[in-house]
C-alpha cells in the first residue's frame, strides 16, 4: 500500500470485499507480498508463475496487500475497486479533510453498450457533443467515441457535471440513429430542437454545480443530509414536513391525476 505498510487481517479484507460488493462486484480477490518477494494467501496460487512480473509491475514491496476486482463489465470493476480505494484512503488516514484537492475529469465515453437491450445508449445524454476527432467513426465504432463532457471533483466527491451540447441538426440526427432512437419518435419529441439548430445556434454548453455537496465537504461531513434544509430519511420520508403525504381529491383533479389502488382480488386486472 504505497509508502505505508500495514498488516491487514482477514476480517479487514472481508470488510473491503463487502465494500466492493455494494457496487455490484461479485467479490474481491487478494494476495500479499511476502518477505521472499513472492506471493502468498488469497488467490496467490493462481499467479505463482507470474509473481515476479506482478510485483515488479505494481512496484509492490514485502508486506504489501494486492487487491483485485474482475468483472465482464469494465464499469463495474472500475467502480468497485475505486470504492475500495476510497475506503482504504479514509481508513489509513491518507485523506486530509483539511485539504481541498480539486480535479477535472474529462474524456468520458459518449456511448455505452446495453447488454440487456443489445444496443448502444448515451452514457450521459443524447445531446452531448462528440469530440471532433471521432465524428467519422460515430456509426462504425461507437464504443471508442469520447464526448466533450466534464466533471469537477473535490476530495473524491463530484461537485459539478456538464457538457458541450450538440448544435448541428445533422450531427444530432446521427446520434439519435446510433442509440436506436426511432426517427419518427425523435421528430415528434425533439423536432423543434433540430429545426431550431438550422438557424445557426452557436456552440454552447453548461455545468450544474452541487453547492450543498460543497458545503458538506467544507463542514467536514460525509452526507448531504447534514447540510440540506429538509433531508429525507432512509425511507424517503421528510420528518420535518411529513412528506410524502395524502393529496386531496381536489388537488388530484386540478392535475388530471387518478390514484389507482392495488387490487386485492387475484383475477382483477
Q: Would the pLDDT of 213 be above 80?
A: yes
d(CA 128, CA 165): 5
The predicted structure's pLDDT at residue 3 = 43
Among the listed residues 29, 20, 123, the one whose alpha carbon sits nearest the alpha carbon of residue 76: 20
User: To the nearest whole number, what is the mean pLDDT of the chain?
Assistant: 90
In tens, the pLDDT along 183-195 reads: 999 999 999 999 9
| Percentage, residues of the chain above pLDDT 90 | 70
The predicted structure's pLDDT at residue 269 = 53
In tens, the pLDDT along 24-55 reads: 999 999 999 998 879 999 999 999 999 999 99
Q: Using 50, 70 and 90 to split pLDDT, how confident is the model at 232?
A: confident
Among the listed residues 104, 103, 151, 157, the one whose alpha carbon sits nearest the alpha carbon of residue 123: 151
The model's pTM is 0.73
Q: Would the pLDDT of 173 be above 50?
A: yes
Mean pLDDT of 170-186: 94
Least confident of 90-99, 159-168, 192-201, 203-212: 90-99
The cell numbers describing 261, all together, are: 389502488
Mean pLDDT of 228-242: 83
In tens, the pLDDT along 119-147 reads: 999 999 999 999 999 999 999 999 999 99
The cell numbers describing 44, all together, are: 496467490
Mention every residue, 6+ apart, whose C-beta is less than 8 A from residue 79. 23, 24
The predicted structure's pLDDT at residue 268 = 55
User: Count of CB atoms within 10 A of residue 134's CB?
Assistant: 15
Q: Would the pLDDT of 1 be above 80?
A: no
From residue 245, give the alpha-carbon distance in Å to each of 133, 256, 262. 52, 18, 18
d(CA 55, CA 38): 8
Among the listed residues 69, 70, 66, the one whose alpha carbon sits nearest the alpha carbon of residue 57: 66
Amino acid at each position: 500500500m504505497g509508502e505505508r505498510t500495514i498488516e491487514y487481517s482477514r476480517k479487514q479484507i472481508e470488510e473491503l470485499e463487502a465494500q466492493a460488493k455494494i457496487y455490484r462486484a461479485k467479490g474481491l480477490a487478494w494476495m500479499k507480498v511476502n518477505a521472499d518477494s513472492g506471493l502468498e494467501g488469497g488467490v496467490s496460487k493462481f499467479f505463482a508463475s507470474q509473481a515476479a512480473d506482478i510485483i515488479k509491475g505494481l512496484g509492490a514491496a514485502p508486506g504489501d496487500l494486492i487487491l483485485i476486482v474482475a468483472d465482464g463489465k469494465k464499469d463495474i470493476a472500475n467502480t468497485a475497486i475505486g470504492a475500495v480505494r476510497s475506503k482504504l484512503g479514509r481508513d489509513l488516514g491518507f485523506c486530509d479533510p483539511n485539504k481541498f484537492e480539486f480535479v477535472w475529469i474529462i474524456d468520458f465515453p459518449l456511448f455505452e453498450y446495453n447488454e440487456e437491450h443489445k444496443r448502444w445508449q448515451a452514457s450521459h445524454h443524447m445531446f452531448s457533443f462528440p469530440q471532433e476527432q471521432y465524428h467519422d467513426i460515430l456509426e462504425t465504432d461507437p464504443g471508442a467515441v469520447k464526448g466533450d463532457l466534464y466533471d469537477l471533483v473535490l476530495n473524491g466527491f463530484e461537485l459539478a457535471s456538464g457538457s458541450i451540447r450538440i448544435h448541428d441538426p445533422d450531427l444530432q440526427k446521427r446520434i439519435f440513429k446510433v442509440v436506436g432512437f426511432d426517427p419518427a419518435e425523435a421528430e415528434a419529441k425533439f423536432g423543434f430542437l433540430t429545426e431550431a439548430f438550422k438557424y445557426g445556434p452557436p456552440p454552447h454548453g453548461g455545468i450544474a454545480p452541487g453547492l450543498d455537496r460543497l458545503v458538506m465537504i467544507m463542514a467536514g461531513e460525509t452526507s448531504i443530509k447534514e447540510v440540506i434544509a429538509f433531508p429525507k430519511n432512509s425511507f424517503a420520508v421528510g420528518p420535518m414536513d411529513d412528506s410524502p403525504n395524502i393529496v386531496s381529491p381536489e388537488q388530484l383533479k386540478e392535475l388530471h391525476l387518478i390514484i389507482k389502488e392495488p387490487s386485492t382480488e387475484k383475477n382483477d386486472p
